[in-house]
């Protein structure tokens, strides 16, 4: 078996890995549910490569993500649900259907009109899928909600954002970000009350409410909360590495330092970052 630029070779490899007699024991025992965590992990690794601007890694990570698609399609084919070609046909049909201003008769649309049209086509697709599932006896949920279409396994932060967008589309929303700030202050008070008199479950619930409100503020300010938190995670990692490096210079580790020493080094890391930003060439 030789590598190839042809997708057919990847399909052959996946089929060989899943062969019930000669295949890989690990690949054979996998199922849709067991593979999902790897699919999500690969998607995040693609995002990480993009964030770092590492196109060598991005090429590899996109390949890993493609493998996940092929893996799911292979298992679906074995179960008689669909094949990889059906996946390709579905997405090509969807892209053509959702871009009538490119592939159809609608022309010269503004970005706002394109977005509205996209939403109309998506809504129509959902109605058709419900009809198809009902006719196949697969429709188990009879409720039709404005919140439909937001996957439960999605990261909690992103799902909160999507739920808020859905609710906002039918008018359940604040009109001013300052109203969200007021809600955040209210949530802080409720967290303090829960700390004083509540159970662990009460505290968790109030912290969740606060995180939901912060997500809402980010949405109103047109900031992606997931991206914003990734930036903060990177900043925290960078500053903590500074602490470790400074302590290593004198043969020490963080666990052997006092909290006051760690705080002082954290402040030094912030100062160094600020000075680096100030010394950067100004763009004309």
Count of domains for the chain: 3
**138 pLDDT more than 70:** no
Q: Could you tell me if residue 205 is inside a domain?
A: yes
Residue 73's Cβ-count burial label (10 Å; 0-12, 13-18, 19+) is buried
pLDDT for position 2: 87
Does the pLDDT value for residue 155 go beyond 70? Answer: yes
Look at residues 77, 97, 117 and tell me which one is the last residue of a structural domain. 97
Evaluate whether residue 231 is within a structural domain: yes
Integer Cα distance of 96 and 45 in angstroms:
29
User: Residue 181: what pLDDT?
Assistant: 96
Express each pLDDT in 234-278 by its tens digit: 999 999 999 999 999 999 999 999 999 999 999 999 999 999 888
Give me the mean pLDDT over the 88-99 stretch: 93
CATH code of 15's domain: 1.10.287.1080
Rounded to an integer, the average pLDDT of 95-116 is: 87
Whether 283 shows a pLDDT value over 60: the answer reads: no
| Predicted pLDDT at 14 | 97
- 255 in the same domain as 203: no
Q: Would the pLDDT of 105 be above 90?
A: no
131 belongs to a structural domain: no
**Same domain, residue pair 201 and 165:** yes
pLDDT of residue 7: 96
pLDDT of residue 141: 60
Are both 219 and 232 inside the same structural domain?
A: no
Instruction: Place 143 in a pLDDT band, splitting at 50, 70 and 90.
Output: low
Highest mean pLDDT, choosing among 45-54, 138-147, 209-218: 209-218
Q: How large a percentage of the chain has pLDDT more than 90?
A: 69
Domain match, 34 and 78 both: yes
Amino acid 101: pLDDT? 86
Residue 240 counted as domain residue: yes
Same domain, 258 and 213: no
In a domain? residue 151: no
Give the domain-ending residue among 75, 97, 119.
97
Q: What is the largest CA-CA distance in the chain?
A: 71
> Mean pLDDT across the chain, nearest whole number?
91
User: pLDDT above 70 covers what percent of the chain?
Assistant: 96
Q: Is residue 145 part of a domain?
A: no
Give the pLDDT of residue 266.
97
pLDDT of 93 above 90: yes
Whether 63 is in a domain gets the answer yes
Q: Write down the pTM of the prediction.
A: 0.67
Examine the pLDDT at 227 and tell me if it is beyond 60. Answer: yes
pLDDT of residue 282: 65
Residues 209 and 232 in one domain: no
14 with 91, same domain?
Answer: yes
Residue 72 has a pLDDT of 98
Whether residue 179 is found in the same domain as residue 249 = no
Instruction: Give the domain extent around 252.
Output: 226-277
31 and 43, same domain (yes or no): yes
Residue 137 has pLDDT above 90, yes or no: no
Q: What pLDDT is attached to residue 142? A: 59
Q: What is the pLDDT of residue 273?
A: 92
Q: Tell me: do 236 and 265 sit in the same domain.
A: yes
167 lies in a domain? Answer: yes
- Do 248 and 270 have their domain in common? yes
């Amino acid at each position: 078996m030789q590598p190839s630029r042809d997708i057919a070779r990847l399909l052959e490899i996946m089929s060989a890995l899943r062969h019930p007699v000669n295949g890989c024991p690990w690949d054979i025992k996998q199922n849709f549910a067991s593979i999902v965590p790897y699919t999500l992990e690969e998607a995040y690794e693609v995002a990480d490569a993009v964030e770092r601007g590492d196109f060598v890694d991005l090429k590899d990570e996109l390949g890993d993500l493609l493998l996940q698609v092929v893996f799911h399609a292979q298992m679906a084919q074995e179960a008689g649900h669909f094949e990889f070609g059906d996946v390709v046909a579905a997405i090509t049909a969807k892209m053509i259907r959702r871009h009538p201003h490119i592939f159809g008769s609608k022309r010269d649309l503004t970005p706002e009109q394109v977005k509205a049209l996209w939403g109309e086509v998506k809504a129509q697709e959902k109605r058709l899928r419900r009809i198809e599932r009902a006719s196949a006896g697969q429709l188990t949920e009879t409720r039709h909600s404005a919140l439909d279409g937001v996957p439960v396994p999605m990261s909690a932060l992103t799902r909160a954002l999507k739920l808020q967008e859905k609710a906002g589309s039918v008018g359940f929303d604040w009109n001013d970000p300052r109203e969200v700030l007021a809600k955040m202050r209210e949530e802080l008070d409720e967290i303090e009350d829960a700390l004083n008199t509540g159970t662990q479950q009460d505290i968790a619930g109030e912290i969740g409410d606060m995180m939901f409100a912060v997500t809402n503020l980010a949405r109103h300010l047109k900031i992606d909360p997931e991206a914003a938190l990734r930036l903060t995670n990177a900043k925290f990692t960078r500053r903590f590495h500074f602490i470790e490096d400074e302590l290593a210079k004198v043969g020490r580790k963080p666990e052997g330092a006092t909290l006051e020493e760690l705080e002082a080094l954290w402040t030094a890391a912030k100062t160094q970052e600020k000075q680096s930003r100030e010394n950067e060439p100004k763009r004309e």
